[in-house]
Amino acid sequence: MKQLIIYADPNPNSFCRAIADTLCETLTAAGKDVFIRDLYEMKFDSTFSLADMQIMTKNDYMADVKEEQELIQDASVITFVYPIWWLGPPAILKGYFDRVFAEDFAYSYGAEGFEKGLVGKKAAVINTMGAKTDSYEKKGMIDAMKKITDKGILEYTGMEVVEHIFFGEISTVSDEVREEYLQEVRGLGEKLATIGILKESDAW
């Protein structure tokens, strides 16, 4: 089953990139088909425009949006890797959600009312931050960010969030700590690689 990594960091040498690459390598080694969508490298248009709005009313989408939706549809697991800027994702990823997680794809309104469009898919989120993780936790910000992304976007559309990891002080920690972070990413990759695989006892 395919796995998708949505990556949003403009610096190709960032630790976020090391995270995305490590996750990709771990999943590939486990025999998974993995696709990385580097939003900055793609120059993804993050502006939800009047044209987007008008074409959606005709139950259609822009070509670039359709491409992303097809990749999401084909994936069993989607992992989002990005730095935290002003307690949220980079604007390019927010725009990705605005345009790609559109009505009649990620959600819809049918005879039974509101319907989630991405039920059955798993999601994971990995964030880097400049500040200490515990300082954000004490202020309630970690919980707030999880609620916005995990509850307000991913679970709202039917996805199950299996993990949301925050790596703090990313610009000042030692190489040893960075390696510990990457080891945690490898562990997550190994966990994600098992999704969709039936245990022998479950197959009967």
Report pLDDT digits (tens) over 4-63: 999 999 999 999 999 999 999 999 999 999 999 999 999 999 998 898 888 877 677 889
What pTM was computed for the model?
0.92
CB-based burial label for 167 (10 Å; 0-12, 13-18, 19+): buried
Q: Tell me, rounded to whole angstroms, the distance of Cα 14 from its chain centroid.
A: 17
Q: What is the pLDDT of residues 160-198, one digit of tens each?
A: 999 999 999 998 999 999 999 999 999 999 999 998 754
pLDDT at 58: 67
With H, G, I as helix, E, B as strand and everything else as coil, classify residue 75: strand
| Percent of the chain whose predicted confidence (pLDDT) is above 70 | 94
Neighbours of 33 (CB within 10 A): 13
Say how far apart CA 96 and CA 121 lie, in whole Å: 18
State phi, psi for 78 to the nearest 5 degrees. -120, 125
Neighbours of 39 (CB within 10 A): 21
pLDDT at 154: 98
Question: How many CA atoms, within 13 angstroms, populate the side-chain half-sphere of residue 38?
Answer: 16
Is the model's pLDDT at 158 over the cut of 50? yes
CA angle 81, 85, 86 (to 5 degrees): 140
Q: How confident is the model at residue 102 (pLDDT cuts 50, 70, 90)?
A: very high
Give whole-number Cα distances, 172 to 87, 166, 178, in Å: 19, 15, 10
Residues in the chain: 204
Q: How confident is the model at residue 199 (pLDDT cuts 50, 70, 90)?
A: very low
Q: How confident is the model at residue 112 (pLDDT cuts 50, 70, 90)?
A: confident
pLDDT at 44: 97
Mean of pLDDT values over 121-148: 95
